[in-house]
Amino acid sequence: MIQQPVPVNLVISSGEPAGIGPEVSIAAAVAFLQEQPASTITLLGDCSLFLAADIPKELSSRLKVESIALASPVIAGQLNPTNAQYVLSILDAAVQGCLDGHFDAMVTAPIQKSVMNQGNTSSDDLFTGHTEYLAKLCHQDHVVMMLCAILPTGFLGLQKSCDLRVALVTTHLPLRDVPSALNQQHILETIQIVDQDLRKKFGIAKPVIRIAGLNPHAGESGYLGHEEIDVIIPAIETAKDLGIQVSGPYPGDTMFDSKSLDDVDVFIAMYHDQGLAPFKFVSFGGGVNVTLGLPIIRTSVDHGTALDIAGRGLADPGSMLEALRLAYQLAVNVKNAKNLST
């Protein structure tokens, strides 16, 4: 029996207008819609940014541009802080559309945090990233950043392709602030959010989770730090008592074992570079960022604005296409789960 394509309505926020966001957004949208004939995409951004795009006529009814005006004209590769509010406006519109049920999932193109923060005088108003901003918009105290990639057959000796997922306990913090940001409750909530969304959105019945320590050798029984003994292990044990299949803490330099990829659904790192350095080394720029713990589905590219090649036709839309594919699959999973429960 041939399965019919599931209709999914996606929205893309096209990101920093001077970067590669607009061009990879439109290119990936066209490629995705050719793969998924029952889906539609709404692209948010100033219409002037997409005038040069070659959109096939047969896609015109399924690829819509919802124009949000720039504050100032854009020169590719040249940042302009006056357009910072424009970037926030397209994010706000995408989130609200998902919360209102107009869109099934949102996909975000890269932004430039330095521009977002120019002119701010209060550290409370600092823009630290998409993840934190979306949590605020959705009134969530705790969300989790997770990166996903498909590793191909043959890579690292893999007998078949497999999914690599890496989630973070802390995200965009200076390294010196990480130890004080860790506590049992925060780590436990991170584990719970990861477990819940892998079940609900990824359709994994009983996720297998590995969690890293903070210190070298996971603290070496207290000789290299006590965070593992005092904070991380108690959180893991509490999660186990709740029925979550989690183990650790593992040393950060040995946790990512290629032989375990078939058995582990997600690796949780304590801080940004502990998790994302090995992830990005093996993901070939094809990774996808997912925000867990939101009432909506949000995926994103795992690269930056690439100002040096913006507007030159050199940008690779591969990561954006993968973000659209994953957003689609997560939306399908959620739709199917709802249908089964009714």
Among 109, 96, 103, which residue's Cα sits nearest to residue 42? 103
Q: Sign of dihedral through CA atoms 97, 98, 100, 102?
A: positive
Report the DSSP pairing between strands 298-301 and 266-269.
Answer: unpaired
Domains by residue range for the chain, with CATH: 1-140+294-342 (3.40.718.10), 143-292 (3.40.718.10)
CB 287 within 8 A of CB 148: yes
Q: Which pLDDT does position 3 carry in this prediction?
A: 60
Q: Which pLDDT does position 1 carry in this prediction?
A: 39
| pLDDT by position in tens, the chain (length 342) | 346 678 999 999 999 999 999 999 999 999 999 999 999 999 999 999 998 888 899 998 999 999 999 999 999 999 999 999 999 999 999 999 999 999 999 999 999 988 888 845 444 567 888 988 999 999 999 999 999 999 988 888 888 888 999 999 999 899 999 999 999 999 999 999 999 999 999 999 999 999 999 999 998 999 999 999 999 999 999 999 999 999 999 999 999 988 888 899 999 999 999 999 999 999 877 899 999 999 999 999 988 999 999 999 899 999 999 999 999 999 999 998 887 766
Q: Which pLDDT does position 175 carry in this prediction?
A: 95
CB 209 within 8 A of CB 247: yes
Walk across the sheet containing 208-212 and list its strands: 63-66, 40-44, 9-13, 105-108, 298-301, 288-292, 144-151, 162-168, 266-269, 208-212, 245-250
Contacts 24+ apart (CB under 8 A), 331-336: 331/6, 331/8, 331/10, 331/104, 331/105, 331/297, 332/6, 332/8, 333/200, 333/201, 333/202, 333/203, 334/104, 334/200, 334/201, 334/297, 335/6, 335/8, 335/104, 336/6, 336/203
